[in-house]
Amino acid sequence: TRLFVILFPFALKDAVDLSKFPVERIRNFSIIAHIDHGKSTLADRLLEMTGAIAKTEKNKQVLDKLQVERERGITVKAQTASLFYSHQGQQYLLNLIDTPGHVDFSYEVSRSISACQGVLLIVDANQGIQAQTVANFYLAFEAQLTIIPVINKIDLKNADPDRVEAQIEKVFDIPREECIRISAKLGTNVERVLQEVVNRIPPPEVSTDDPFKALVFDSTFDHYRGVVANIALFGGQVKKGDRIVSAHLGKAYEVNELGLLRPDERPTDRLYAGQVGYMVAGMKDVKEAQIGDTLYLQQQPVEALPGFKPAKPMVFAGMYPMDQSEYTGLRSAIERLTLNDSSVTVQRDSSLALGAGWRLGFLGLLHMEVFNQRLEQEYNASVIVTAPTVPYKAVLSSAKLIKEHGSEEITIVNPAQFPDRSLVSEYLEPMVVGTILSPDTYTGKIMSLCMNRRGVQKNMVYIDDHRVMMKYLFPLNEIVVDFYDLLKSMSSGYASFDYENAGYQAADLIKMDILLNGRSVEELTTIVHRERAYSAGKAMCEKLKDSIPRQMFEIAVQAAIGSKIIARETIKAYRKNVLAKCYGGDITRKMKLLKKQAEGKKKMRRIGNVDVPKDAFINVLKRKDK
């Protein structure tokens, strides 16, 4: 009997005949929030209350599946669950489409959102509106979704829901009466959230009589079955055995498996318009089921859903194994990780100093960081990651080059490809609009940080008595390295930051070389803004001075633009030679020292007459100090 009691609620719930489930009683919604405001906690409560999962401590945050997500407390990959909920004697199908929590994934967020008619916008009752609250709000607002503001963590001692309601009214123009105050942790008022989802969010406007049309809003890779695509049906129905086509690639597949996500997979024979579920169709690569793609029946082609664009990498970094013997291991680790993430681009690359490696492209900084962490944690790989760079562009003026490239505009990812000024009419750099929210005590410091980063203030408003929201236009390059860390530390952790891409803008870019005793070091060449050349050159020379050991002669470390030297450091000569230590006598010690020196040399790279140890390159090129 006990087993029966345990299984019974699930059996009953899943016995619903999906074909008869009326579209009017379907609600598709997402939860959006700034990091840590309680999205996963609320999702767990909703799942428990609708019986999708049992109420135990172990089930904490079922929707965040990846290890790095649990550790960092951020959601990376969207996870989804279908909930059955009874309200006033009627059964409703509520599809909770979980969205990634960070701006880097804003394309994924907006795709997930386009499968919804409404969102729950969660705001922490203590912290109030933060940068990602604003970014996520606009994604939902532009998609014309119903937005239900939910103020979470009202159980906290210093919760101030009145103040947060006033912020919501001021910044988003949503009447404060529409806010629902809850504690996701304690379950307070969460039932009300479910009721309001039913009451306020409209059902999807779709029909089972239309031809089958589905949006791919997420996909993962499974070693046994290939790609598992999460889909939302915008029309018609689909069953096992159907031949479907992906609009983006035009390739046809047979549907092998279909089902609901509760949040575990529950296979079904068919899915119908308005429903959300998963599909396995013999796709072997996540690139075949890209987020935002449309699927339709082979015999019934339809127009693709609007707005599909393959994710574009905006931040690039080199990755090299610490030791070349680890190359193969790292390669397979990178391959396995990219199986699940079609937005990372991988290109083989090699550096004289660091050996064979790759240049990887990411959607943004967090995306890169999450990828590195997963690489280290899940594959135990020790990796050298170089400082990130951004894709510049050049508008060519040389007819010969235009012919060679087949277009007037080229993208430059590698400084070695930087075309000379005389061959271009202008250089362009990627821009972003950054949103910063902070207590007003830090406004002055933040404004000067932004100015130092070539930021142009677009607007500044008080969202309540003590908090300001600032918008800046920044060159992406200025925020990729340490901007966020600096912002956090100068505001004692209180400022939040988010950005969105804002196209390209003309920029005075130049190529900067680093010279050792007059010889250029190819792997240290960088593209910089003219205004920033002096400080960048100086910083690079100083770092090199600290990492190259003294040698028998003096070494000039210089930064140069063309033939003009803009910075210089000198490494003084090392007076004693290695053998000087040996007081003439001990021959074995002498041999040992010579051997050691020879081994050390193997790891050196010789530039002109200067030996540079690999470590020096790592120090100068790597992303940040750990």
Ligand X SMILES: Nc1nc2c(ncn2[C@@H]2O[C@H](COP(=O)(O)OP(=O)(O)OP(=O)(O)O)[C@@H](O)[C@H]2O)c(=O)[nH]1
- Chain residues that interact with ligand X, rule: CB under 6 A: 33, 35-41, 64, 73-75, 101, 152-153, 155-156, 183-185
- Shortest Cβ 112–ligand X spacing (Å): 13
CB 514 within 8 Å of CB 520: yes
Whichever of 39 and 453 has its CB closer to ligand X, that residue is 39
Whichever of 152 and 342 has its CB closer to ligand X, that residue is 152
Task: List Cβ neighbours of 256 (8 Å cut-off, separation of 6 or more).
Answer: 225, 240, 280, 281, 282
Rounded to 5 degrees, what angle do the CA atoms 235, 78, 286 make? 75
Alpha carbon 266 to its chain centroid, in Å, reads 29
* Residues tagged in the binding site annotation for GTP: 33-40, 98-102, 152-155
The residue type of 174 is I
- Shortest Cβ 101–ligand X spacing (Å): 3
E strand map for 72-128: 80-87, 90-98, 118-124
- Cα–Cα distances in angstroms (integers) from residue 394 to residues 390, 402, 409, 412, 582, in the given order: 13, 11, 6, 7, 58
* Secondary structure (DSSP) of 177-194: GG-EE-BTTTTBTHHHHH
Q: How far apart are CA 209 and CA 206, in angstroms?
A: 9
Q: Which residue has the tokens 């990627």?
A: 430
- Shortest Cβ 134–ligand X spacing (Å): 15
Whichever of 65 and 331 has its CB closer to ligand X, that residue is 65
- Shortest Cβ 517–ligand X spacing (Å): 50
Whichever of 129 and 410 has its CB closer to ligand X, that residue is 129
- Shortest Cβ 496–ligand X spacing (Å): 13
Whichever of 152 and 558 has its CB closer to ligand X, that residue is 152
CB 32 within 8 Å of CB 136: yes
Whichever of 184 and 286 has its CB closer to ligand X, that residue is 184
What φ, ψ does residue 586 adopt, rounded to 5°? Answer: -65, 105
Whichever of 39 and 374 has its CB closer to ligand X, that residue is 39
- Shortest Cβ 510–ligand X spacing (Å): 40
* Secondary structure (DSSP) of 276-305: EEEEE-S--SGGGS-TT-EEEETTB--PPP
The half-sphere exposure of 318 on its side-chain side, counting CA atoms within 13 A, is 24
Q: How far apart are CA 67 and CA 494, in angstroms?
A: 26
Q: 498: closest CA among 9, 31, 45, 34? A: 34
Whichever of 101 and 313 has its CB closer to ligand X, that residue is 101
CB 487 within 8 Å of CB 442: no
* Residues tagged in the binding site annotation: 33-40, 98-102, 152-155
- Shortest Cβ 40–ligand X spacing (Å): 3
- Shortest Cβ 105–ligand X spacing (Å): 11
